[in-house]
Structure 1
Amino acid sequence: MVASTGPRAEAYGRREPQAGARREAGAALLVAATPAEAAVLLAGAGGPGEVTVVCLESGGPQERQAFERAASDSARQGRRVRGEPRVLASRDDAAQAVLAELRTLRPALVITTGPDAPSGGPAADPGAERRRTAAASAALRAADAYQRESGQPLLVDCRDPALTDATGTGLRPRYALPGTWLIRGNDGRLSAYLPTAGAVLRWTESVAGRWSGPERLDAPGLLPGLTVVQGPDGYVRLIGLRRTEGPGGAVTVDVVCATQYQTGRPAGPWHSLGNPHRAEPERGRHVGFPVAAFDDDGTLHVFLRNDEHTVNTRHEKSNGSWSSWQHLRGTRTADELVALRVPDGRVELFARLRDVPGTARWSRTGRDGAWAEDTGPGVHAAADSLAPAPESGALRYRYAGTGELCQWQWNAPGPVALLSSEAMGRVTGATGVDIGGWACTVLVTTDPYGHCLVGFHVDGRPDSGVWWSGTEQWCLVPPAVVRDGRGRLTIAALGADARLAVTRRMPGGQALDLGPWA
């Protein structure tokens, strides 16, 4: 099946840059309401290069002192801050002022807050929330406009200071990046999908193994997060949140979904799946980010943290229509959900708890049974570490309190350590890789400095030992790994300049030897 209509695919990288303009590797623009807020955002701005900070307001002396301390801490961690925060020239048209900064700086990354804080989130008063929303909205609109006019890809990282929960406080992503963003299509070619403001960026492998892109899959209002899932039919579903501003400043947030049928072809149109708070749009602004998984019969299940910090779900029926939103009552959850297919072919949901340590699990008895919650699967995950493993029904995470990397297999009494003190990011992997005559699982993640870290163990036997090795490739987003149409192991990363970098396993060897990043 080929989609004949859908979002426009707009090629990047084909326009000549302005004379003398150069994109500095690792350059970032941080957009905040005040210097105090910028100081908090700097805590999550790791990586090489410099960050330029702009604010809507100048703030008072104490705010500027807090910013100076944060800038010093950031410099010690490797991210330099370029001067003091600059106040935007125009608050009446903040998006144009941010766009002017983007034209001058030509960054690879924009850092800001989410325009809609979670309910009960860090905005202590309506005025603070309005200022935060104004800064984030200006950053998103400017990032969208800059990419359209320049042809340069630009990632947007929206973060919110989290409330105290069972794992403490921290600066956490407001919109999730896809854990699996490198996909093998039905024709064996690979595609990479990453979100930005108002679009999805797509890179595509040719038959000859060369890469083109990124192309811009237009999605006006799309917030910079993405869930990517592939069904039994090989088709890829792209799922995210869309933010629409209406008359009088009214804001609507809805879950949207598009389908990629064939590699490199236009994606299908974006369809709205609505919002559990459809009758209360203000509450709907504060939902979490959707996750999804397919049953083995091809039913797609979507899950969403609602304004009450419990979970709603809906699924696509066999005739292509969607069920209504169903409320899964139970324990309050944090903004960290994982949906996965378990060995018997059903989908289960795992969610890190918000108020107590641990992880809740929702499952059904049979395909049409009622959802039931189990708060005792024995998974105690640190914040922002919970991820699905390629083995059916398995989870990977860092153990809360110790940070030790673990794997939990479906219905196991406890986790297995993956023997890495360096793994810091979420871990993804690919199974069935022949290493020395053994079928092995290859793992990829990032080390404390943001470089790609690669490990492997025998399929299904992480307890037999994991062998880890580092690389020199720095990652703007967590790396991805898959076996291509010829069975070759392929690892992809996004470098500090927002360009795709790919390495493949060297042919003919018995070890896990990787070729140069290209």
Structure 2
Amino acid sequence: MRGNSAGRTAFSARGAASGDAGRPALPPVRPPAGTWLFTGGDDRLTAYACGPDGLLRWTEAAAPASGWTGPERFEVPGWTGSAAMARSREGYVHFAAPVTARDGSGRPEIAVSTQFQSGRALTDWRGLGVPHVRGGPTDDVPTGPPRVAVNQRSGSVHVLVSLRHGGILRCSRNAEGVWGGWKQLSPDPYEGEVTPLMPVGGPLELLALGPAGADRWTGAGQGRFRHADRVPSPVVPGTTAVCETGPRRVTYFWRYPGDGSLVAWRAGEQGLQGTLVGLGDAGGRGAPGVVRTMLGGYDCTVLTHIGADGGVELTAYVTENEAYGTWRASLGGHGALTPQPAVDAAGRIVVAAFDRDGALVLTRQDPAQGLVFGPWDTVGSPQPRPGTGKR
């Protein structure tokens, strides 16, 4: 597969179009925790970001050639600046965000909302209370943003947080839409991020970063969890990602501290040791975005990330065959932040990112030429407007 498209993808860190110099600057934009680019139930792409007072949303038009709408602004009561989200198989997007607690304790509580259709309004935000362990310290607080995982069969939703002292907690909504209380998943405290996923037909599992390294926890039935693996590799904090890569199997990705290169790790089966494979790309930064798609007739895993030269890099390989080599593409886009991949209605890989002004920029694959991508485009209007879509 061919993969050098850097000559066609230059764009300024100040925006993709030369005529943008006089436009008003967007408010500060930060990427959510984990994945923020999704394909809806109608195959339209939607991108999200964290703004000054809530979520920002960009939505692809029904016909891709018609462009995008957004950014729309959705204010979140008590907004503290971060959020995470996950998609169900129906295309629903479930959100979780820490907000200012209503009990006056100063500790953040977690609020949740859902978007059921592309371009429509979010449901009202619902508070899940302050995450706590019964009998634990009253000043215990999360060490990072919440994360969201969805059971793709039943539609149940799980929100996870890691407390400074109380370990990892989970609050779940069942298939009927009823939320339970906060329950301790792991008693061990982890100061780093938690990266969860629930593979189809498998239990909820997660990778948690702590002082002793990275640990994998997995469901053991009847609401119980067990410590399944201690990962034999150091991890750069803030660089973990996860993807379902086989029946009831997931692969985790992160950067290795020694040289910043990407690695992939998958838990072993039937007593076999887990697989840790280097993917190269030394000197890069940040967490990769990841998606599975068909390339040249092969089921492939595709990662996008910031490379050593500050440009967007794409790495692809036949799923769960990391050791047999990768294809690479340099996409240009110097100055872009947190690139995320997705697959559009035509089956093309789309890579989206934010420029330094907070504008959403993207490039699309030309499938006839393998891993060759078109120029970067800025999408959406320059100023956010309140979200007005109907549910």
- TM interval, shorter chain, is 0.7 to 0.9
2:40 pairs with one of 179, 185, 196: 185
Please state if 1:414 is matched with 2:275.
Answer: yes
- Structure 1: give runs of 5+ residues left out of the alignment: 1-23, 28-105, 109-151, 157-175
Give 1:505's aligned residue.
365
Q: Distance in 1 between matches of 2:48 and 2:284?
A: 23
- In the TM superposition, what is the alpha-carbon distance from 1:516 to its structure 2 partner? 0.7
Q: Distance in 2 between matches of 1:431 and 1:208?
A: 23
- Matched ranges for 1:37-436 at <5 A: 152-155=26-29, 177-209=32-64, 210-243=67-100, 251-277=106-132, 283=139, 285=141, 287-296=143-152, 297-308=154-165, 310-342=167-199, 344-354=201-211, 356=212, 358-366=213-221, 368-391=222-245, 392-411=249-268, 413-435=274-296
Paired residue total: 349
1:434 maps to a residue whose letter is L
**Structure number having the greater helix percentage:** 1
Please state if 1:479 is matched with 2:336.
Answer: no
> How far does the alpha carbon of each residue in 1:322-342 deviate from its partner, in whole angstroms, 9 at most, with x for none?
121112343331221100124
Please state if 1:460 is matched with 2:327.
Answer: no
Over 3 Å counting, the alpha-carbon distance change for 1:325 and 1:490 in structure 2 is same
Q: Distance in 1 between matches of 2:215 and 2:28?
A: 35
Contact 1:251 1:281 in 2 (8 A): no
Contact 1:336 1:351 in 2 (8 A): yes
Over 3 Å counting, the alpha-carbon distance change for 1:484 and 1:374 in structure 2 is same
Q: Say which SS state the counterpart of residue 508 (structure 1) adopts.
A: helix
- In the TM superposition, what is the alpha-carbon distance from 1:449 to its structure 2 partner? 4.5
TM-score (norm 2): 0.81
Contact 2:171 2:181 in 1 (8 A): yes
Contact 1:424 1:448 in 2 (8 A): yes
Q: In angstroms, what is the RMSD of aligned CA positions?
A: 2.8
Q: Say which SS state the counterpart of residue 194 (structure 2) adopts.
A: strand
- In the TM superposition, what is the alpha-carbon distance from 1:344 to its structure 2 partner? 4.0
- In the TM superposition, what is the alpha-carbon distance from 1:245 to its structure 2 partner? 7.8
Give 2:18's aligned residue.
none
Over 3 Å counting, the alpha-carbon distance change for 1:25 and 1:424 in structure 2 is closer
Over 3 Å counting, the alpha-carbon distance change for 1:341 and 1:482 in structure 2 is same
Q: Say which SS state the counterpart of residue 239 (structure 1) adopts.
A: strand
2:100 maps to a residue whose letter is R
> How far does the alpha carbon of each residue in 1:190-209 deviate from its partner, in whole angstroms, 9 at most, with x for none?
10011122210000100121
Q: Distance in 1 between matches of 2:190 and 2:223?
A: 22
Give 2:386's aligned residue.
none
Over 3 Å counting, the alpha-carbon distance change for 1:405 and 1:245 in structure 2 is same
- In the TM superposition, what is the alpha-carbon distance from 1:469 to its structure 2 partner? 2.8
Give 2:375's aligned residue.
516
Q: Say which SS state the counterpart of residue 139 (structure 2) adopts.
A: helix
Q: Distance in 1 between matches of 2:90 and 2:354?
A: 28
Please state if 1:447 is matched with 2:307.
Answer: yes
Q: Distance in 2 between matches of 1:286 and 1:107?
A: 36
- In the TM superposition, what is the alpha-carbon distance from 1:474 to its structure 2 partner? 3.1
Over 3 Å counting, the alpha-carbon distance change for 1:196 and 1:468 in structure 2 is same
Q: Distance in 2 between matches of 1:415 and 1:288?
A: 26
The higher relative CO (CA closer than 8 Å, separation ≥ 6) is in 2
Contact 1:313 1:328 in 2 (8 A): yes
Contact 1:197 1:221 in 2 (8 A): no
Q: Distance in 2 between matches of 1:245 and 1:294?
A: 27
- In the TM superposition, what is the alpha-carbon distance from 1:281 to its structure 2 partner? 10
- Structure 2: give runs of 5+ residues left out of the alignment: 1-11, 16-22, 378-391
Q: Distance in 1 between matches of 2:252 and 2:182?
A: 26
Over 3 Å counting, the alpha-carbon distance change for 1:245 and 1:363 in structure 2 is closer
Pair member with larger Rg: 1
- In the TM superposition, what is the alpha-carbon distance from 1:237 to its structure 2 partner? 0.6
Over 3 Å counting, the alpha-carbon distance change for 1:287 and 1:216 in structure 2 is same
Contact 2:48 2:56 in 1 (8 A): yes
**Structure number having the greater strand percentage:** 2
